[in-house]
C-alpha cells in the first residue's frame, strides 16, 4: 500500500500521527530506500520516463492540431513549414501570431494546474484537492476582474503579481484547515467550494458593475485562451517556473506528510515548513494559470488521479508526469472548445467540467 493510500484509509488530520495497518505499510516502505528514499531508481524512473515520453508525443499531435485547425485550415505540412520558414507569409502570421501563443498558454496553464493539484491533494491529504474547487484560483480571478472593470489601473506584470499573491493567500487559508479536526475530505472541499463561490460572485459583480461583457470576461469565469497573445504568455512563465521549482524542492517531503507530523519529523522532515512551501507553490501555480486562462476547473483534480494510475503514488514521479499530463489535458480540452462549434467557441471550463464533475462525485461517494 502506498502513502497516499494510507492517507485515504485513515483520514486523520495532517497534524496528527497516523496509526493502524496503513501506517505499518507506509513505514515499511520508508525502510526500503529504493521505494521511497530513491523513488527514481530502477523501475520507477524508467516507468516515469516512458510515460512522460508517451504523453509528450501526444502533446506533439495536439500542437499540430492546434496550429493547423481553425477558421482557416492549414495542412500539417504547411503548418510545420510556417514554424520554421517565412515562405508563406499568411500561414506564418496565422501560426505564430494567433495559434501558437494559444497552444503554449494552454500547455503552461495545464502544467501549472496539474502540479498545483498534486500539491494540494498531498498537503491536505484530500483526494478532492483542486486549485479551483478549493478556491485557490479565486483570488486571482477577483484581481483579474477588477482590472478588467477598471477598478484599478496597472501594467500586465503588476496585475500578474497581484493575481499570484491573491492565490497564495487563498491557498494558505484553505491549507490551514488541513491541520484542524476537519478530517472529512468532503468538509474541506466544502470550505474550498464556498471560497471559490464567493470569489466568483465578487469577480462577476465587478465585471457587471463595470459593464464588461466582452468574450475575455466570459472566458475569465468559464476559462479559455481565446485572443491570448505572447504578451499574455511571457509574464506568466517566471511565476510558473518559480512554482515548479518550489514543488521540486518539497517533493521528497510530500511522501512523508501522510504519516503525520511526529513520524515525519523523526524521519528528518520539517512538516510545517514543507506544508507551507507546498501551499505557496500551489498558490503561485494556480494564480499564474488563472491569470492567463481564467477559471478552468477540475484539471488539478483529474491530473493527479490519472498520474497515480500511470506512475504510482510516489510524489516525485507524480510531479514529473503531471507537468506534461496537465498540459495535454488543457491543450486537448481547448481544441474541443475551439473546434466543436467552430467558428464559435465554448469555455474550456465546460469541457473539463464534463469529465471532472463526475469524477468529483465519485470521489466524494468513495470517501464517505
Domain count along the chain:
1
Q: Pick the most confident of 7-11, 74-78, 111-115, 205-209.
A: 111-115
DSSP for 73-113 reads ---HHHHHHHHH--SSHHHHHIIIIIIHHHHHHHHHHHHHH
Confidence of residue 184 (pLDDT cuts 50, 70, 90): low
Tell me, yes or no, whether 334 lies in a domain: yes
On whether residue 327 sits in a domain, the answer given is yes
C-alpha distances out from residue 246 to 155, 198, 250, 293, 320, Å: 26, 28, 6, 22, 13
Q: How far apart are CA 296 and CA 290, in angstroms?
A: 8
Residue 233 lies in a domain: yes
Q: Is residue 72 part of a domain?
A: no
Q: Please indicate, yes or no, if residue 92 is contained in any of the structural domains.
A: no
Burial readout 79-96 (b: 16 or more C-beta within 10 A, e: otherwise): bbbbeeeeeeeebbebbe
The predicted model gives 45-58 an average pLDDT of 94
**Structural domain contains residue 237:** yes
- Residue 192, pLDDT > 80, answer yes
The pLDDT assigned to 63 comes to: 96
Q: What is the pLDDT of residues 234-271, one digit of tens each?
A: 999 999 999 999 999 999 888 887 777 788 788 877 88
The pLDDT tens digits for 287-322 are 999 999 999 989 999 999 999 999 988 999 999 999
Q: 152 lies in which domain range? A: 3-30+104-366
Residue 62 within any structural domain of the chain? no
Alpha-carbon span 251 to 83, nearest angstrom: 36
Instruction: Report the CATH number at residue 130.
Output: 1.10.3470.10
pTM of the model: 0.84
Give CA 19 to chain center in angstroms. 31
Residue 70 falls inside a structural domain = no
Amino acid at each position: 500500500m502506498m502513502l497516499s493510500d494510507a492517507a485515504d484509509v485513515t483520514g486523520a488530520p495532517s497534524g496528527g500521527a497516523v496509526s493502524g495497518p496503513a501506517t505499518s505499510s507506509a513505514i515499511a516502505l520508508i525502510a526500503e530506500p529504493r521505494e521511497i528514499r530513491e523513488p527514481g531508481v530502477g523501475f520507477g524512473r524508467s516507468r516515469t520516463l516512458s510515460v512522460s515520453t508517451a504523453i509528450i508525443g501526444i502533446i506533439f499531435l495536439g500542437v499540430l492540431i492546434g496550429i493547423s485547425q481553425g477558421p482557416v485550415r492549414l495542412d500539417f505540412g504547411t503548418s510545420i513549414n510556417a514554424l520554421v520558414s517565412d515562405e508563406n507569409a499568411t500561414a506564418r502570421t496565422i501560426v505564430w501570431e494567433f495559434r501558437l501563443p494559444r497552444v503554449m498558454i494552454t500547455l503552461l496553464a495545464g502544467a501549472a494546474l496539474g502540479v498545483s493539484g498534486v500539491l494540494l491533494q498531498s498537503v491536505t491529504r484530500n483526494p478532492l484537492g483542486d486549485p479551483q474547487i478549493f478556491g485557490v484560483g479565486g483570488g486571482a480571478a477577483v484581481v483579474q476582474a477588477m482590472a478588467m472593470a477598471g477598478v484599478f489601473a496597472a501594467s500586465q506584470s503588476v496585475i500578474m503579481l497581484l493575481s499570484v499573491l491573491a492565490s497564495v493567500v487563498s491557498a494558505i487559508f484553505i491549507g490551514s484547515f488541513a491541520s484542524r479536526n476537519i478530517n472529512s475530505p468532503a468538509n474541506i472541499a466544502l470550505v474550498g467550494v464556498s471560497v471559490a463561490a464567493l470569489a466568483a460572485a465578487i469577480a462577476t459583480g465587478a465585471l457587471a458593475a463595470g459593464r464588461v461583457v466582452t468574450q475575455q470576461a466570459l472566458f475569465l469565469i468559464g476559462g479559455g485562451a481565446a485572443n491570448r497573445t505572447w504578451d499574455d504568455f511571457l509574464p506568466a512563465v517566471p511565476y510558473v517556473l518559480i512554482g515548479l521549482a518550489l514543488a521540486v524542492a518539497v517533493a521528497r517531503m510530500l511522501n512523508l506528510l501522510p504519516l503525520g507530523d511526529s513520524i515525519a519529523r523523526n524521519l528528518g522532515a520539517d512538516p510545517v515548513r514543507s506544508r507551507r512551501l507546498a501551499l505557496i507553490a500551489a498558490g503561485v501555480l494556480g494564480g499564474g494559470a488563472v491569470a492567463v486562462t481564467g477559471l478552468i476547473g477540475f484539471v488539478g483534480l483529474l491530473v493527479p488521479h490519472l498520474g497515480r494510475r500511470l506512475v504510482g503514488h510516489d510524489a516525485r514521479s507524480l510531479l514529473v508526469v503531471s507537468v506534461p499530463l496537465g498540459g495535454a489535458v488543457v491543450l486537448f480540452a481547448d481544441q474541443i472548445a475551439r473546434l466543436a462549434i467552430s467558428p464559435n467557441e465554448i469555455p474550456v471550463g465546460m469541457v473539463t467540467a464534463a469529465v471532472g464533475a463526475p469524477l468529483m462525485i465519485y470521489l466524494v461517494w468513495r470517501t464517505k
